[in-house]
Amino acid sequence: MTTTAYLLTIDAHDPTGGSGQTADLATWAALGWRGTSITTALTAQNSYGVQGVQAAEVALLRNSLRTLLADGEPAAVKIGMISHAAVAEEVAQFVEARQCPVVWDPQLASADGSEPWARAHGGGLAMRLAQRADLITANRAEASALLDLPAWEMGPPPAAWINAIRSRWLEAGAPHRAVVVKGGNAWGAHSTDWYITSSTVLPLVSRRLPRSAHGSGSVHASVCAARLAEGWSVLDAAAEAQLRAHAGIDQAIAAGPGRPNTRTDARADSDDLPWLPLPGQSEEAPPDFARLSGQIGFYPVVPDADWVLRLLEWGVCTIQLRIKELEGAELRMQIREAVQAAREVPGTQLFINDHWREAIEAGAYGVHLGQDDVHTADLPAIHTAGLRLGLSTHTPAEIARAHALRPSYIALGPVFPTTLKAMPYRPLGLERLTQWRQWLSPRYPVVAIGGISLEQMSAVRATGVSGAAVVSAVTQAVNPRLAVREALHIWPACADEAVAQAMV
C-alpha cells in the first residue's frame, strides 16, 4: 500500500485561523498539498493578539508524533511556536531523526512586538533546531533575541549578524542551508528579506505595504516547506514565499476589529513580485527598458540571417536571431544583415540573442539574454541605446532577478521537455506556466519557451502568455513555410493580427 505524501506542521493552535498550524494547513491546501499538524500549544487570542498560552502535554505530543509516522514519513516539516523547553526537546529529537527538509520559523516574538511565549526554548535546544533546519525564517526581533545581538533596523545586515548566523546556525550544516531574516517589521520604503548562507548574502526586495497582517510569517514558512518538499532550491522557495506572503498581506482578511489575517490563498501579481538585485546593484529599482511596440505571438528562434529573411517574407513579425558558432566580422555581418532586413518590414521586432555589443552597433530592435549573461552584459549601455530587453527565467529566484532589471518581456521555460540542449531545470507544464504568468501580469509580457510544438501551441496560448518561442518546430520542420503558416493561424505575431493573417 502506498501512502500519500504529506507535509507536517508542528506549531500552536490559533483559534482565529490566522497563524500557526491553521494558517499552515490552509496555505498547503492552496498549494495542492495535504497537510497534517501536531499541536505544541493552545492559545487564547483574537484580532488584538495573544491573551494566553497553554503548552501541550509532553507525553501526548510524543505519542502524536510517533503515531503519525505510521502513515509514512513527512515530505517536509515546518516548526513554529515552541511553548516549553520539554516540548522543544521532543521536537528536536523528532526532526533530528528525519531525512526530509525542515523549516523553522522561530516565533519568539510576534510581529507586533509582544512576547507571549518568551525564551522557553533554552540556548542548547534552539541551537539543535537551528542546526537541523534547512531553512530558518526569522524576523529581526526573533533573530536578535536568539543570537543575543543588538537590534538592526536599516540597510544590509551588519557583519556581526552575518558572522553570528554563520558560526552558530550554518557552520555545521550542508552548503544548501540558509537563513532568511525578514524585513517586514523594519523601516524604509522597501521591505527587504536577507537570504544568508555560508557563502552568500542576498537581498530579496519588495515594496513595503502600508499595513501588516497576522500570520504572514506562517504563510511564508509554510510556502518554503512545500517548495523544499518538491525539490526546489532554498532561494527559489524563499522568493516564492515572499511573493505569496506579500500578496496575502495586501489582500488580508478582517477577523475582527484588530489586525487582519494574512490571506493564505491570495492571488499574486506583478505588484507582489520581489526583486533580487545583481551584486553591486542598488535595492532601488532601475528604470524600465523600453516597452514592446507590438504583440509577440508566434516567436521563432533561428540560427542565421537567411532564416530571418525567410520568416519576414512569410509574415512573421517577432523573431530572435540566435547565432552560436560565428565570431568577429562574420558574426557582425550576419547581425547587420538581419537588422537591416527587419527595419524594412514595418512592425518587426527582431531580438539578437546574447551578442549585445553587436546588437547595439547594428541598431537592433532588442536583445535577449540568459541568466548567466546578465552578469557580464552592460545593461546600462543596452538601455541607453534604446534597445528592448528580453530575459530568460526558469525558477522563482530567476524571476526575481529579472524583475530587478525591469526588462521589456520575460521568458518562462522550459514549458515541456526539450532535446535541443541539456536543461538543469524541470519542465514547468501548463499549470505552473499559467500561475507564473499571473505573477508577472500585468507588468510584463510573458513568452513561453521550451519544447513547444505546433500541436501544443493552442494550449500554450490558452494560459494567457503573450507569445510562444519555438525553435525546432520551424527550423527542423519538413516544410518550414507550411509550419509557419499553421503557426500564424493559431497565433498571429504582428501588432495588427489582421495584417499577419493577410501576409500568410
Known binding-site residues for Mg(2+) equal: 354, 373
How many angstroms separate the CA atoms of 12 and 35, rounded? 15
And the C-alpha cell for 398? 530567476
Q: What is the dihedral of CA 276, 279, 284, 285, to 10 degrees?
A: -60
Spell out the alpha helix ranges (H) of 169-320.
216-229, 234-250, 305-313
67-to-61, 73, 85, 98, 316 alpha-carbon distances in Å:
10, 11, 22, 15, 62
234-250 vs 216-229: helix axis angle to the nearest 10? 150
- Sign of the dihedral through C-alpha 78, 139, 178, 271: positive
346, with CB counted inside 10 A (0-12, 13-18, 19+), is exposed
Q: How far, in Å, CA of 428 to CA of 134, rounded? A: 24
On the CB side of 125, how many CA atoms lie within 13 Å of its CA? Answer: 18
Backbone angles phi, psi at 410, to 5 degrees: -125, 130
Residues, the chain, total?
Answer: 504
Q: Which SS3 state, helix, strand or coil, does residue 11 take?
A: strand
Angstrom distance (rounded) from CA 431 to CA 60: 41
**Residue ranges at the known binding site:** 320-324, 353-354, 373, 392, 421, 451, 471-472
Q: Which amino acid, residue 239? A: A
334 near 355, Cβ under 8 Å?
no
ω into residue 427 within 30 of 0, thus cis?
A: no
CA distances 320 to 147, 167, 340, 465, 479, Å, are 51, 48, 14, 17, 20
Are residues 103 and 228 in contact, defined by beta-carbon separation less than 8 angstroms? Answer: yes
- Per DSSP, 253 falls in state B
Pinpoint the alpha helices (H) of 38-177.
58-68, 85-96, 123-132, 140-147, 159-165
Instruction: Give the Cα separation of 139 and 357 in Å (integer).
Output: 43
d(C-alpha 344, C-alpha 19), whole Å: 60
Count Cβ neighbours within 10 Å for each residue of 418-429 and write b for 16 or more, e otherwise. Answer: beeeeeeeebbe
